[in-house]
Amino acid sequence: MQTRAIDRNLRIAVLAGGRSSEREVSLKSGENARDALQEAGFKKVDLLDPADKMFIDCIRDYDLAFLAMHGAGGEDGEIQHVLDYLGIPYTASDAFSSACGADKDVSKLIYANAGIPIAKGVTLKRDDPITVEDIVAVVGEESFVKPAVNGSSYGISLVKNPSELPCAIEKAFKYSDKVLIEQRLVGTEITVGVFGDSETLKPLPVVEICCPEQSDFYDLDVKYVDPTDIHRIPARISKEDYEQAQDLACRAHEALGCFGISRSDFIVTSSGPVILETNTIPGMTDASLFPDELRHANIEFSDACASLVEMALARAGRR
């Protein structure tokens, strides 16, 4: 991957950590991103934690923020608003697109409007007057219950019997003020990364997620194990489904207004791919899906990070 000449003396702050339930994963992503940027030749790269009381004072000393934040406060537009106010360029999507992508209820409306297949679902807020019977009438006997605004599988439950719904809903409410209940789709779970700006946007290789026999879905116990055990690239799906998934990932990226990087998750059913969600700042740990996709696309992680810096500078008019 070729990048234009970028000033390697730029002062770059890699933002990682925060106060979300994904703090530890974010810190690992940040460490990898910092190392990659240093490998790419940037001389002044530091890891900053927005949870630090001195963060606002410290961030003012940098030319650009490289975002490795996950979950609340990082992927939902909050840190982007802060950086916009301070006039500091940053990588990945802007505040509005981040907020739309982080809210699974809102993003589903955007997907549907763009003609992207979605699962049947019900959205709940606390004290909504809805019964288990009402929910089952929409999503069926088996479903997934998840916080509408959160990530990395925190608070998600697979419900195999309607009697399990109340406990699953209460669990999800611990992580969000809004809960999404979706039909359980049967098929192959895949994920598709998207990389580039409006002129260079392209999908990355499709990854099939192979859960161990003891796991019912891609939960926290599975996400951060050795990727060679659970990531299969290319995915074992038909050529038609493969190409459709890549197209839908690009369409989801554009519909949400994402920038530079995103990763969308799907279930490939007998009728084709159905989107689950889009991550606007995918994980960047050694076990994360996005770096694995880059490797299989013959893109060095360090080159990808340098390109994200270039895109961020171009968006800010500072290249």
Angle at 195 between CA 296 and CA 144, to 5 degrees: 85
279 is catalytic: yes
Could you tell me which of 24, 25, 68 has the C-alpha nearest to residue 46?
Answer: 68
Could you tell me which of 284, 274, 303, 271 has the C-alpha nearest to residue 112?
Answer: 274
3-state SS assignment for residue 84: helix
In 287-308, which positions are buried (b, 16+ CB within 10 angstroms) versus exposed (e)? bbbbbbbbebbebebbbbbbbb
Exactly one of 277, 292, 293, 310 is catalytic; name it.
Answer: 277
52 is catalytic: no
Beta strands in the chain (DSSP E): 11-15, 44-48, 64-67, 121-125, 143-147, 157-159, 178-183, 188-196, 202-203, 207-209, 231-232, 260-269, 272-279
175 is catalytic: no
224 is catalytic: yes
- Dist CA 97 CA 259 (whole Å): 8
The full length of the chain comes to 319
- Dist CA 178 CA 316 (whole Å): 34
Q: Is the dihedral of CA 298, 210, 262, 290 positive or negative?
A: negative
Exactly one of 150, 263, 264, 310 is catalytic; name it.
Answer: 263
Exactly one of 78, 103, 265, 293 is catalytic; name it.
Answer: 265
- Dist CA 119 CA 146 (whole Å): 13
Exactly one of 18, 20, 21, 22 is catalytic; name it.
Answer: 22
265 is catalytic: yes
- Dist CA 293 CA 316 (whole Å): 27
Counting beta carbons within 10 angstroms of the beta carbon of residue 92, is it exposed (0 to 12), middle (13 to 18) or buried (19 or more)?
A: buried
Residue type present at position 83: L
Exactly one of 21, 143, 150, 152 is catalytic; name it.
Answer: 152
- Kindly give, in sequence order, each residue whose CB lies less than 8 Å from that of residue 246, ignoring residues fewer than 6 positions away: 192, 203, 206
Exactly one of 224, 286, 300, 303 is catalytic; name it.
Answer: 224
Active site positions, annotated: 22, 152, 224, 263, 265, 277, 279, 283
